[in-house]
Structure 1
Amino acid sequence: MTINALVVGGTSGIGYAIARHLPSLLSTPSILIAGRTAPPDLASHPHLTFRPLEATSMRAIRTFTSSLLNESPRPKLSYLVMTQGMMSTAPRTEVEGEGIDRKMALHFYGKQLLIRELMPLLEEKARVLVVYDGWLGSPEKLDWEDLDLTRGYGLGKAADHCTSMMDGMVQWWAAQQGPHEGKRLFVHAFPGGVNTGLMREVVPVLQGAVKGLGKLFLTTPETCAERLVKGTEKSAEEGRGWANLDSKGRVMGEKAIWTDEQMGKVASHTWGLIDKALEGQSGS
């Protein structure tokens, strides 16, 4: 069966919930999950399969996408979902031989490479859904002279840059299509507070408290998945080329519209850094 949806980072939490939700939207569902380790109950979901991917490495991503592009029958993706992320307090740590901070590689650069490499597989009306932080990004938060933060790295700054550059690239991708009907949709979604294992992994001493409070104040991954997918489908029905969604799946109306110059600067920086990493050249 031809793969018709790919969920990167779909091995647990929100991503896995989205992967389990997608079969309800596809007439002949065949969803591929990519990440570090397969979900333990994967066998109980007949429409889901798994392939390993180290999504912090540009070269690993290129190997993964090349295998899909050379597959027969060739995948025809209706959905490309990317939820890969990490919570870490580590200082700047570059992926070996690639010159990109590991956290920024996972949260931003690798996602752009996946879109670029898999574009030939995306159907005409495909949905590209990035679950990260579609709320707080803004071009005003960028240090335009140090976009990959080789000189001014900090955890807050890295989050600002990844979030903001993702906003810019969502709009850039949409702009590449032109004003025609049946276009692909690019979505940057804010999941809100979701009861996953990330916080418990980062602060193990608080496992019990976080788990208990999560049941009271946090959304389940299943509810989050349903809301974001529903919001994505509604945005597609409205003919949008791009959208930022809030935690309820609603389109955010106050997002900044990026200028062609701003989008161009982020895109040029992004492809330059990624291509240098693929060539095995470290450094900025």
Structure 2
Amino acid sequence: MAIRAVVVGGTSGIGYAMACRVAAQASTNSSPAGSPAAGSVIISGRTKPTNIPHSNMEFRALDATSMRQIKQYTDALKSDLQPGQALDYLIMTQGIMTTAGRTETPEEGIDRKMALHYYGKQLLIRELLPALKEDAKIIIVFDGLLGSPSKLNWEDLDLKKTYGLSKAADHCMAMNDCMVQYWAATAAAAAAAQKKTQQQHFVHAWPGGVNTSLHRELPWYLRPVARAALGLVGVSPDTCARNLLNGTAECAEAGGEEGRFWSNIDNKGRLIKNKAVWSEEQMRRVADHTWEIVDAAIITK
């Protein structure tokens, strides 16, 4: 069966490794390249990789800090997909490692780190849901380990007033946790209404220490320390990709049997147990806030 995927953040690091693994699996399909039945992987980011190792990989440029660019990107992608070309995977690994304070995106006014780590990911899910298969896997790679409702400032969710680096990380962790449960609940309701047995599975993954090039965005005096630390304790991007993809498949299968369509997984791909279950009211507040921020950014001129 053909495998199709979109990997945002797929031009380097973990995302690139995940894209290459999915592309290698998709390339085993015997259908001719370019036919509706042939598998393909779209990788997206700001800069095209120098090496695209599989013929079924395609690069599409995207600045994932911009909500308007994301909307244009998803509209074009949905328009280009032919009948029978729904997506098996939506994988989002875009991120940044920086010690800079609040840095708002031009015109849209969203902190760049939060745009990459949270808001843009949720907009991608919302806009691409119609293009996803009924049993698609949606994977957010950020930090599915440490998020908690108790870490949110409910009166300042976008941290316009109370910004700090650790607080921004806490909010992105927690809100991504919340939204995988929100999306799973939304999909469950839709599946039940249509009397369908299959359902999409939403994952928030913690990659752990991975030896990538993200440290290059740190101040010059911190780069050697970060590089040395990642070299000592970090796994390769390919090892991380294998663990997260295998873990997603295993958790989706087990979750389906349990009636659970969301998972938080660790760096080995194992289900993180005892994660907080968000209330309907909490999910509604986070979702409403999210759409208020991203929709205002989309129409900003």
Contact 1:3 1:76 in 2 (8 A): no
**TM-score, length-scaled by structure 2:** 0.88
Q: Which runs of 4+ in 1 moved over 4 A?
A: 205-213
Please name the residue that 2:70 is paired with.
61
**TM-score, length-scaled by structure 1:** 0.93
* Equivalent residue runs for 1:231-250 within 5 Å: 231-238=247-254, 239=256, 240-250=260-270
Please name the residue that 1:52 is paired with.
61
Partner Cα separation in structure 1 for residue 160 and residue 225 of structure 2? 37
Equivalent of residue 243 in structure 2, options 227, 230, 254: 227
The amino acid across from 1:143 in the alignment is N
Please name the residue that 1:188 is paired with.
204
Please name the residue that 1:140 is paired with.
150
The amino acid across from 1:262 in the alignment is Q
Length, aligned pairs only: 279
* 3-state DSSP of counterpart to 2:114: helix
Identity %: 52
Q: Does 1:115 align with 2:125?
A: yes
Q: Does 1:13 align with 2:13?
A: yes
Contact 2:24 2:54 in 1 (8 A): no
Residue 92 of structure 1 deviates from its aligned partner by: 1.3
Q: Does 1:158 align with 2:178?
A: no
1:103-157 per-residue CA deviation (whole Å, 9 max, x = no partner) reads 1111100000000001110000000001000001000000000000010001110
Please name the residue that 1:273 is paired with.
293
Partner Cα separation in structure 2 for residue 106 and residue 210 of structure 1? 21
The amino acid across from 1:224 in the alignment is C
Partner Cα separation in structure 2 for residue 213 and residue 81 of structure 1? 26
The amino acid across from 1:202 in the alignment is L
The amino acid across from 1:191 in the alignment is P
Contact 2:98 2:217 in 1 (8 A): no
Partner Cα separation in structure 2 for residue 86 and residue 47 of structure 1? 27
The amino acid across from 1:89 in the alignment is T
Runs of 5+ in structure 2 lacking a partner? Answer: 30-37
Equivalent of residue 41 in structure 2, options 31, 36, 57: 31
The amino acid across from 1:46 in the alignment is S
**Distance of aligned partners of 1:72 and 1:148 in 2 relative to their CA distance in 1, 3 Å threshold:** closer
1:227-254 per-residue CA deviation (whole Å, 9 max, x = no partner) reads 0000000012111410000110000012
Contact 1:200 1:206 in 2 (8 A): no
Contact 2:206 2:266 in 1 (8 A): yes
* 3-state DSSP of counterpart to 2:80: coil
Partner Cα separation in structure 2 for residue 247 and residue 254 of structure 1? 17
Residue 183 of structure 1 deviates from its aligned partner by: 0.4
The amino acid across from 1:20 in the alignment is C
Partner Cα separation in structure 2 for residue 213 and residue 87 of structure 1? 14
* 3-state DSSP of counterpart to 1:70: helix
Residue 58 of structure 1 deviates from its aligned partner by: 0.3
The amino acid across from 2:39 in the alignment is P
Residue 190 of structure 1 deviates from its aligned partner by: 0.1
Contact 1:19 1:31 in 2 (8 A): yes
The amino acid across from 1:242 in the alignment is W
